A and B are shown apart, each in its own frame.
Chain A
Amino acid sequence: MITLNSKIPDGPLEEKWTKYKKEAKLVNPANKKKLDIIVVGTGISGAPAASSLGEMGYNVKVFCYQDTPRRAHSVAAQGGINAAKNYKNDGDSVYRLFYDVIKGGDFRAREANVYRIAEVSNQIIDHFTAIGVPFAREYGGTLTTRSFGGVQVSRTFYSSGQTGQQVLLGAYSSLNRQIKAGTVTMFPRREMLDLVIIDGKARGIIVRNLITGEIERHSAHAVVLATGGYGTIYYLSTLAVNSNASAAWKAYRRGAAFANPSFVQIHPSSVPQMNEFQSKLTLMSESLRNDGRVWVPKAKGDRRPANEIPEEERDYYLERRYPAFGNLVPRDVASRAAKERCDAGYGVGPTGLAVNLDFRDAIKKQGKKAIEEKYGNLFEMYRDITGIDSYEEPMRIYPAGHYTMGGLWVDYELMTTITGLFAIGEANFSDHGANRLGASSLMQGAGDGYFILPYTISNYLAPEIKVPRIKTDTPEFQEAEERAVERINRLLSVKGKQTATDFHKKLGKIMWDHCGMTRTEAGLTEALRLIRELREEFWKDLAVPGSADELNQELEKAGRVADFLELGELMVTDALNRRESCGAHFREESQTPDHEALRNDDEYAYVAVWEYNNDQPPVLHREQLKFEFVELKQRSYK
C-alpha cells in the first residue's frame, strides 16, 4: 500500500522553491559521471531534462520511439509559451501567472508546484533565446508576446504558429551538443515495455528495438518518464497518431500511482471530422481566438454560406455569454459552449458539428498582411486540409481531445510513488489542475526538464553515489523481460479478425461519448461495461500479422491499444468517483443554473490518486489540496 507524501516545503509560497534549493543535496562533479540516468521521451520535457543532466555531468541514456528525437509531438504545439516577463508592462507578475494557472485549473492543482513553474518561466524564455530559438520580435528588436485564453495580460512568447517546433528544435540542439560531448547516449526507435524495480527502487527499463524487434535491458540509478499524455485514447485527437500511454501505464502497473486520470482537455478549435477514415483531428491554435470571433447563426439549422449571413443574424455566443473574456475564455469553457450550440441545432458545416471562427473584422481592422504574419502557417494548413481560404470565409472548428492534465502522481520533487522513478511534463499530473491554460504546456514541460528536475533528481541521487553501476543480469531484469516477451507473444497468438485500429476506434468512440466533454453517472456506468466487453473481445479477436523479430507496426499498435483498454477503465472509474464538475471534467449532475461547472470543494478538493491492485479494482488515495495562499472561488469569466 502506498502512502502519499507531497513533500511540499513549508514557509511562504514565494520562498518554498528557494528553501528547497538551499536544502537540497548536491552530487559532486566527480561522482556525477558514475551515476546513470534513463530518460524516456525526447519532447519538450525529456530533451531539456536529458541535456541539462548531461551538462551537469551525469551519464544519461535517452529513448524515443521516433527515428529521431526531433519528432516528439511537442513539435506540433502551435501557439506559444507563457512567461511572467511583463515585457508589455500590462501588470503581469509571477504571482499573476501562478494565480491564472490555479484559477484556470479550477482550483484542483497544488499551489506550491504551480508557483514554482511560474517562478522559473522567465528563465525558460531567456534560455531558449540564448540557444537561438527565433521568437517573434518587435521592430525595436525586443521579444513580443500575445494573449491567450483565460488571462487578461499578454504573456505568450511565440514563433508564428510553430512555437512547439522552434522550442523543441532548440531543446534538440542542446541534446545534440551533449551527445557530441559524450554525456548523453541516444536510443531512437525504442519502445519502453516495462520498468525494472530492484529493492524498491526504479533501476531500469525493458525496451523493444522497433527495427529489429530485439528486447533490450537498460539500467540506471534513476529513471525519468517524459512520455507525454494519453489523449490518443479517443482515437481521434490532436495528438500524433503514435503518441501513447504505454510507458506510464507500465509504471502504473508496477506501482506508480496515477492521479486524476479523467482530467482531459478537449481543445475547442480543431478542424472538424470529415469522414470515418480520418486518423486525426488537426488543431487550430488557440492564439487564433486573439483575432478570430466565434459565432453560429442565430437561427436554428441556418445552412447559408457564412458570408451570406448578415451581421444581425449572427450569434457571437462567447462574447454574449462571457463579456469580460469574450473569445478568450479558457479552453474547457469554449469547448462546452461550442458543444452546447451544436447540440441545440445551431452548428454549421456539412455535419452541423462545427462553429465559425471568423477573421473578417480583424482583417478589416489590421489588414491581411498583419493577420498573415501572425497566423500564416495555420491558415495554410487549414486550406490544405479543407480547401477553404480563411482570409475569405470563416474557419470551421470543433472541439477535439487534446491534452491530459491527469498523469502519474508526483511529489514536489517530481518523483512518483516508486522511489527513483520521476515523471515530468505532460506525463505527470502536477500543475494544471482540472484544465490547462493555453501555452502553459511548453512552459511546464521545459520548466520541469530544465530547471526543476535537475535539482530534485540530484537530491535523490546524492546518497546513491556508493551504488555501483546497476547490472542487467539480475533476476529482476530477467523477470521483467520475460513479462514483456510473454505479452508480445500473447498479442501475436490471438490470431483473430479485427485490427488494432478497429479496436482503437471502438474504444475512442466509447470514451468520446461517455467520458469526453460532458459526463453523466449513467453514461460512465455504461462505459465501464462497454470497455470491459471490448477488452474481452480484443483478446479473442485481435489480428496482428507478422512476427516479433522484425519491424512490425501492427504489433506496436496492438500493444498500445491493449494498454489504452485498461487505462480507459481507470479514466471512467475516476470520472465516476468525482461527483462534481471542475475545469474540463463536467458532470452534468453538477452545474450552475447557467450551465457552468459547479465545483464541490467540501468533498472533492483533492487529487484522486489511484493505486494498481492487480485484478482487483484500483485503490483510491486522496491528496487533500490545501489552499493557503489563494481563496477558493467559483471560476467566472463573465
Chain B
Amino acid sequence: MKLKLKIWKQKNARSGGAFETYDLDGVAPEMSFVEMLALLNQTLVQQGREPVAFDHDCHEGICGSCGMYINGYPHGPVKGLTTCLLSMRHFKDGETIVIEPWRAKPFPVVKDLIVDRSALDKIQVAGGFISVTTGAAADANAVLVSKKKSDLAFDSAACIGCGACVAACKNASAMLFVSAKISQYALLPQGKPEAKERVRAMIAEMDKQSFGSCSNTGACEAQCPKQIKLFNIARLNREYYKAF
C-alpha cells in the first residue's frame, strides 16, 4: 500500500506546530498503525530526516501509551481499538491519513504527537485509592462481594488512561475517566469508607486541571478503546450528590 500522511509536527511545548506531508510506500495491510509509523520513521532516519515523535509501548492495547487522532477520530475509525491494535487493513491504498496529537487544554503538546497527560495522574493522586497500608489487610474472603458487582467494578477498572475520552469530547471533559475510577470503588465494599472524600477530591482536582464540563453527548463512550460505559458518569454524579 502507498499512503499520504499528513502529520502534525511541533518541536516542543513552547513552539507552534504545523502539518507536514509524507509519502510512504510499502505499507502492508497486516501492519498495525504504530508499525506503519515506525516504518515511516525508519525511512526518515535513513534519509537523515527527523522522525515523528509518538508514544507507544505495549503494542497490545493495555498500557495506554499510544493515542492520536487518525482522520479526526481518537485511535482511528474502528471502534474498541487502541492505535497500536488498529490494523492497516482498515485503510485503502492511496489514501490520505491525517494524524494529530490529542487536542485538549489539559494535554499540552510535548512534541509532534506526544502530549502531556499528567493531569490524569493528578486526579488519581487526589483520591483514586483506598487507604489500606501494606500488611493491614484481612483475609481476602473476609468480605464477600457479589459476583455481579465485582464484574461491573472490573469493567470500570479496565480503563487504560489513554485520554481518548478527553480528546473525543468537545468540552475536553475527563468525566468518563474519573467516573470509571469512582465506579470501581463505589461498586466494591472496600471503597465505601472513603467514598465521599474520594469523589469530592477527584472532582475538585479535575476542575483544577481545567477539564471541561460533561454535556452528555456520549462521544467519550463511542471513542473509548476499552468501551467504558457512559453509565459510569451517571454513577459518578450520584456519588457526587451523595458526598455533600
| B212 within 8 Å of A (CB atoms) | no
Q: Which residues of A contact B59 (CB under 8 A)?
A: 240-241, 279-280, 282
Q: Which residues of A contact B160 (CB under 8 A)?
A: 165
| B184 within 8 Å of A (CB atoms) | yes
Q: Which residues of B contact A67 (CB under 8 A)?
A: 55, 65, 116-118
**Which of A26-34, A94-102, A120-128, A198-206 faces chain B?**
A120-128
What is the chain B residue whose CB lies nearest that of A276? B28
Instruction: Establish whether residues A75 and B63, one from each chain, have CB atoms under 8 Å apart when the complex forms.
Output: yes
**Which of B128-136, B167-175, B216-224, B235-243 faces chain A?**
B128-136
Q: Which residues of B contact A282 (CB under 8 A)?
A: 59-60
| A70 within 8 Å of B (CB atoms) | yes
| A275 within 8 Å of B (CB atoms) | yes
Instruction: Fill in one digit per residue for B122-142: 1 if any A CB lies within 8 Å of its CB, else 0.
Output: 001111111111111111110
Q: Which residues of A contact B57 (CB under 8 A)?
A: 66, 71, 73, 240-242
| B39 within 8 Å of A (CB atoms) | yes
Instruction: Establish whether residues A543 and B134, one from each chain, have CB atoms under 8 Å apart when the complex forms.
Output: no
Interface centre among B42, B51, B56, B58 (most CB of A within 10 A): B58
Q: Once the chains are docked, how many angstroms separate the CA of A501 from the CA of B40?
A: 13
Neighbour of A454 across the interface among B61, B110, B134, B143, CB < 8 A: B134
Instruction: Establish whether residues A132 and B110, one from each chain, have CB atoms under 8 Å apart when the complex forms.
Output: no
Instruction: Establish whether residues B65 and A129, one from each chain, have CB atoms under 8 Å apart when the complex forms.
Output: no
Instruction: Fill in one digit per residue for A112-156: 1 if any B CB lies within 8 Å of its CB, else 0.
Output: 000000000001011111111011111111110000000000000
Neighbour of A130 across the interface among B111, B114, B127, B130, CB < 8 A: B130
| A160 within 8 Å of B (CB atoms) | yes
Instruction: Establish whether residues B134 and A177, one from each chain, have CB atoms under 8 Å apart when the complex forms.
Output: no
Q: Once the chains are docked, how many angstroms separate the CA of A477 from the CA of B60?
A: 39
Given A123-B135, A279-B38, A553-B53, residue A166 in contact with residue B157 (CB < 8 A): yes
| A511 within 8 Å of B (CB atoms) | no
CB distance from B63 to the nearest CB of A (A): 4
Instruction: Fill in one digit per residue for B1-32: 1 if any A CB lies within 8 Å of its CB, else 0.
Output: 00000000001100000000000000010111
Q: Which residues of B contact A130 (CB under 8 A)?
A: 130, 132, 136-138, 140, 190
| B68 within 8 Å of A (CB atoms) | no
Instruction: Establish whether residues A68 and B132, one from each chain, have CB atoms under 8 Å apart when the complex forms.
Output: no
Interface centre among A132, A274, A380 (most CB of B within 10 A): A132
Q: Once the chains are docked, how many angstroms separate the CA of A131 from the CA of B39?
A: 42
Q: Once the chains are docked, how many angstroms separate the CA of A85 from the CA of B146?
A: 20
Q: Which residues of A contact B190 (CB under 8 A)?
A: 129-132
| B204 within 8 Å of A (CB atoms) | no
CB distance from B237 to the nearest CB of A (A): 21
Instruction: Establish whether residues B185 and A132, one from each chain, have CB atoms under 8 Å apart when the complex forms.
Output: yes
Given A166-B154, A497-B46, A546-B50, residue A551 in contact with residue B144 (CB < 8 A): no
Neighbour of A75 across the interface among B62, B110, B118, CB < 8 A: B62
Instruction: Establish whether residues B161 and A159, one from each chain, have CB atoms under 8 Å apart when the complex forms.
Output: no
Neighbour of A275 across the interface among B31, B85, B141, CB < 8 A: B31
Q: Once the chains are docked, how many angstroms separate the CA of A56 from the CA of B132?
A: 13
Given A73-B57, A166-B154, A551-B110, residue A127 in contact with residue B137 (CB < 8 A): yes
Instruction: Establish whether residues A160 and B45, one from each chain, have CB atoms under 8 Å apart when the complex forms.
Output: no
Q: Which residues of B contact A279 (CB under 8 A)?
A: 32, 34-35, 38, 59
Q: Which residues of B contact A164 (CB under 8 A)?
A: 62
Q: Which residues of B contact A128 (CB under 8 A)?
A: 140
| B81 within 8 Å of A (CB atoms) | yes
Q: Chain B contact residues (Cβ within 8 angstroms of A): what range?
A: 35 or more
| B191 within 8 Å of A (CB atoms) | yes
Instruction: Establish whether residues B134 and A545, one from each chain, have CB atoms under 8 Å apart when the complex forms.
Output: no
Q: Which residues of B contact A131 (CB under 8 A)?
A: 129-130, 132, 137, 190
| A459 within 8 Å of B (CB atoms) | no
| A174 within 8 Å of B (CB atoms) | yes
Q: Once the chains are docked, how many angstroms separate the CA of A166 from the CA of B155?
A: 11
Q: Which residues of A contact B32 (CB under 8 A)?
A: 279, 385
Q: Once the chains are docked, how many angstroms separate the CA of A385 from the CA of B86?
A: 8
CB distance from A372 to the nearest CB of B (A): 12
**Which of A47-55, A248-256, A437-445 faces chain B?**
A47-55
What is the chain B residue whose CB lies nearest that of A174? B129
CB distance from B156 to the nearest CB of A (A): 8
| A499 within 8 Å of B (CB atoms) | yes
CB distance from B17 to the nearest CB of A (A): 14
Q: Once the chains are docked, how many angstroms separate the CA of A191 from the CA of B49?
A: 25
Neighbour of A134 across the interface among B111, B114, B154, CB < 8 A: B154
Neighbour of A143 across the interface among B124, B133, B140, CB < 8 A: B140
Q: Once the chains are docked, how many angstroms separate the CA of A131 from the CA of B189?
A: 10
| A211 within 8 Å of B (CB atoms) | yes
25 sample A-B contacts, Cβ–Cβ < 8 Å, listed by A number: A48-B134, A51-B134, A52-B134, A66-B63, A68-B121, A71-B64, A71-B65, A73-B63, A123-B135, A129-B190, A132-B190, A137-B150, A165-B160, A172-B124, A176-B128, A180-B127, A240-B58, A241-B56, A277-B28, A277-B35, A279-B34, A381-B60, A384-B61, A385-B87, A451-B135
Which A residues are within 8 Å of any B CB, using their own CB?
48, 51-52, 55, 66-71, 73, 75-76, 85, 87, 123, 125-132, 134-143, 159-160, 162, 164-166, 169, 172-174, 176-177, 179-180, 186, 188, 211, 240-242, 274-275, 277-280, 282-283, 380-381, 384-385, 387, 450-451, 454, 497, 499, 501-502, 543, 545-546, 550-551, 553-554
